[in-house]
Amino acid sequence: MILDRFRLDGQAALVTGGDRGLGQAIAIALAEAGADVAVAAHTGDLAATLAAIAATGRRGVALRADLADVRHAGDLVAAASRALGAVDILVNNAGIIRRAPAIEVTAIDWNAVIDVNLNAVWALSQAAAQQMAVRGHGKIINIASLLSFQGGIRVPAYTAAKHAVAGLTKALANELAGRGINVNAIAPGYMATDNTQALRADPERSRQIMERIPAGRWGQPDDLAGAAVFLASPASDYVHGHLLVVDGGWMAR
C-alpha cells in the first residue's frame, strides 16, 4: 500500500535545532511516522519535544552541541548513533539569523551565521554520509529558505548561507545518490518562528509579506511535517537534489 511507503518504522533520525519551531515540529512528525529521534540543541529546553516524541510511542534522545564549532559535528553524529544504533535520517535544521544593513554587518556576525547555517550543515552531512554509505542507505534533509532563491533585505550572511545550502544539497546528491543516500532540502516560506519575530512585530513589513502570500497567512511549523516525512521516507527514494518549497505560494507570485 502506498501509505506504507511513508512509514519510518525501524529508522533513527537526528534533528538539529529540535527544541522549538521548525525543528521541533519535524522531530515530532518523524516520530509520528515511526522513527526514533535524537534531538539536538545548544542550550534550548528539549523537554517538550521529548515529551511529544514519547507520546507517539517512539524513543527520543536529547543531545547537546554548539554547532558554531564544526568540530562538534562528528561527535554529535557519533552520539546519536550510539544512542539509537544508527543515523538513518539527518535533518540539518539548526540556524541563526543576524539582521543589519549590509554596510554595518560585523565580521563576528557574518562568521557566526556562516558557521551555524552552512559550515555545520556540511560537517554534519559529511559525518552522517560516511556512516550511511557503509550501510548503503540514508536520508539527509537540509533546511534551506526562500532566501536560497532571493536576496532578502538586511540579512546578507543568512542569504549567502542559504544559497550555499541549496548548492551543497545538489552537490552532495550528485555524489551520494549512487550510494543509496538521498540528499534534498526543504525551503520554508515565511514561518511564524523566533527567526521571524522581528518581521511579524513590524506592522509595515508584516503587511508587505502577507500581501504577497497567496495562502493569506504566515506558515506554521507543522506545515513542514508532511514534506519532512516524505523526504525521510521510502516514498522519496528517487528524489535527489531537490529543493521542496513550502511557502503558501510565495514563489508563485
Grid coordinates given for 64: 547537546
* Strand pairing class (181-188; 243-246): parallel
- pLDDT of res. 199: 86
- pLDDT of res. 205: 87
- pLDDT of res. 145: 98
Grid coordinates given for 84: 539509537
Q: Which amino acid is at 129?
A: A
SS3 state of residue 53 = helix
Please tell me the distance from the alpha carbon of residue 6 to that of residue 204, in angstroms, as a whole number. 41
Instruction: Write phi, then psi, for 75 (nearest 5 degrees).
Output: -65, -35
Instruction: Write phi, then psi, for 158 (nearest 5 degrees).
Output: -60, -45
Instruction: Write phi, then psi, for 227 (nearest 5 degrees).
Output: -65, -40
The greatest distance separating any two alpha carbons of the chain, rounded to the nearest whole angstrom, comes to 56
Nearest Cα residue to 96 out of 118, 74, 80: 118
Instruction: Write down the pTM of the prediction.
Output: 0.97
Please tell me the distance from the alpha carbon of residue 226 to that of residue 205, in angstroms, as a whole number. 29
CB atoms closer than 10 angstroms to residue 245 = 21
- pLDDT of res. 198: 86
Grid coordinates given for 51: 515529551
- pLDDT tens-place values along the chain, 253 residues long: 899 999 999 999 999 999 999 999 999 999 999 999 999 999 999 999 999 999 999 999 999 999 999 999 999 999 999 999 999 999 999 999 999 999 999 999 999 999 999 999 999 999 999 999 999 999 999 999 999 999 999 999 999 999 999 999 999 999 999 999 999 999 999 999 888 888 899 889 889 999 999 999 999 999 999 999 999 999 999 999 999 999 999 999 9
Nearest Cα residue to 33 out of 18, 11, 50: 11
- Is 238 known to be catalytic? no
Q: Which amino acid is at 18?
A: G
Nearest Cα residue to 100 out of 57, 142, 159, 156: 156
Residue of 35, 36, 46, 158 marked catalytic: 158
- pLDDT of res. 1: 87
Please tell me the distance from the alpha carbon of residue 88 to that of residue 253, in angstroms, as a whole number. 36
| Domains of the chain with bracketed CATH | 2-246 (3.40.50.720)
